[in-house]
Amino acid sequence: MKNYPKVAVVILNWNGRFFLEKFLPSVYNSSYPNIEFVIGDNASTDDSLSFVRASYPKITLLENAQNYGFAGGYNHILSRVEADYFVLLNSDVEVTPNWIEPVIDMLERDEKLVAAQPKILAFHNKAKFEHAGAAGGYLDRYGYPFCCGRIMDKVEYDLGQYDLEKEIFWASGAALFIKSHAWKEAKGLDEDFFAHMEEIDLCWRLKKMGYRIGYCPDSTVYHVGGGTLNASNPQKTYLNFRNNLFMLQKNLPVDQAFTTIFMRLWLDLIALIKFVFDRKFKDAWAVSRAHQSFFLNFFKNAKKRNNYAGIENKAGQYKKSIIADYYLDKKQKFSDLDQDSFF
């Protein structure tokens, strides 16, 4: 008889009654046999929890005393969950019946493979990949994240072109599978990120410890995206620009960090100027605030650096600039990129 490791599917909720009502049925009907469903609540003020208690009495409810954001919220909740695997699942995700077992099987085959994501397609257009994860995440030489199936704002149709298991650089926090021992060893997410890019930082730290991150195309989920902060929200602009700089400072080698961050500050300035010309003044100010926060927190983040000399796994890093490829060379599909330029 097959031994099924225990899986805890953990949804972090904040005033998300609408999404829970819409998507919990697909999650709750998952076919995996050894499973616990957990709703972790970030001090919601709506009727989310009363809805779950009435409709899903067998789901475990864990409450945070305040809204700790995505990073702190999951850290506080998962410290109270016992399982072999944690699945961090956004509340705005619809899953397919057999979405768990293929990923667990893949992770069980390799002790160094400690985290993975399924194929993430768009809920509102299920023939296309979804922006936040698609077919696995990568990072270019200047720290810009992109995905197989999504470069910048260009999202591809899923035609089966990315249907092979592979190692990636980062797995999306929208549907992140992770071995609980690796989560604990890495000490979870960096709570100073609050939200956005915290999963990339976590995956990078795991890779620096010699672990691997994977993509499993045999599992599919459908993500709405922008459920908490939509793409046009200046707060999202602020968090993305700030957290990217935090991540680079924490994880790059010292010599590379100086030159990369110096270049990123200039590239960010170009983005700020473009926001001004597009009359998106709040976004321009968000970039400025991001830089201010980076410098104010410089020494704090410097203390977080962990150097695992000689064992960093660079698979999934791209040696070129994805910005130059996209805007100058018009390479808008992952298959257009120079595959020899990936570690």
What CATH number does residue 69 fall under?
A: 3.90.550.10
C-alpha distances in Å from residue 296, one per residue of 76, 96, 242, 291 = 26, 44, 11, 9
Assigned domain for 326 exists: no
Looking at 223, 246, 281, which one is the last position of a domain? 223
Assigned domain for 325 exists: no
Q: Mark whether 82 and 165 lie in a shared domain.
A: yes
**The two three-digit tokens of residue 7, written as one number:** 């899986």
The tens place of each residue's pLDDT in the chain, 343 residues long, gives 689 999 999 999 999 999 999 999 999 999 999 999 999 999 999 999 999 999 999 999 999 999 999 999 999 999 999 999 999 999 999 999 999 999 999 999 999 999 999 999 999 999 999 999 999 999 999 999 999 999 999 999 999 999 999 999 999 999 999 999 999 999 999 999 999 999 999 999 999 999 999 999 999 999 998 755 566 799 999 999 999 999 999 999 988 999 999 999 999 999 999 999 999 999 999 999 999 999 999 999 999 997 765 568 999 999 999 999 999 999 999 999 999 999 9
CA angle 247–251–253, rounded 5-degree value: 135
**The two three-digit tokens of residue 62, written as one number:** 């864990």
Q: Mark whether 87 and 23 lie in a shared domain.
A: yes
C-alpha distances in Å from residue 37, one per residue of 27, 32, 163, 304 = 9, 11, 28, 32
Q: What's the pTM? A: 0.96
Task: State how far the Cα of 196 lies from the Cα of 129, in Å rounded to an integer.
Answer: 19
Q: Mark whether 18 and 152 lie in a shared domain.
A: yes
Let me know: does 316 contact 140? Beta carbons within 8 Å: no
Q: Mark whether 27 and 95 lie in a shared domain.
A: yes
Let me know: does 187 contact 232? Beta carbons within 8 Å: no
First and final CA of the chain: distance in angstroms? 40
Exposed / middle / buried, residue 103 (Cβ in 10 Å: 0-12, 13-18, 19+):
buried
Parent domain of 148: 8-223
Q: Mark whether 83 and 120 lie in a shared domain.
A: yes
Q: Mark whether 195 and 243 lie in a shared domain.
A: no
Looking at 180, 207, 223, which one is the last position of a domain? 223
Q: Kindly tell me the sign of the dihedral angle through the C-alpha atoms of 225, 191, 108, 81.
A: negative
Assigned domain for 99 exists: yes
Assigned domain for 181 exists: yes
Assigned domain for 318 exists: no
C-alpha distances in Å from residue 214, one per residue of 22, 105, 116, 154 = 29, 12, 4, 23
Assigned domain for 60 exists: yes
Assigned domain for 77 exists: yes
Assigned domain for 247 exists: yes
Q: Mark whether 14 and 90 lie in a shared domain.
A: yes
Considering only CA atoms, which of 307, 109, 108 is closest in space to residue 204?
Answer: 307
What phi and psi values does residue 112 have, to the nearest 5 degrees?
-85, -15
Contacts of 105 (CB under 8 A, 6+ apart): none
Q: Mark whether 42 and 95 lie in a shared domain.
A: yes
Let me know: does 14 contact 44? Beta carbons within 8 Å: yes
Q: Mark whether 216 and 258 lie in a shared domain.
A: no
Maximal CA-CA distance, the chain: 64
- Give how far the C-alpha of residue 156 lies from the chain's centroid of Cα atoms, to the nearest Å: 19
Q: Mark whether 256 and 194 lie in a shared domain.
A: no
Helices and strands of the chain, counted as H and E runs = 11, 14
- What are residue 216's DSSP bridge partners? 118
Q: Mark whether 207 and 245 lie in a shared domain.
A: no
Q: Mark whether 217 and 82 lie in a shared domain.
A: yes
Per-residue model confidence (pLDDT) at position 2: 83
Looking at 176, 205, 223, which one is the last position of a domain? 223
Contacts of 54 (CB under 8 A, 6+ apart): none
Total domain count, the chain: 2
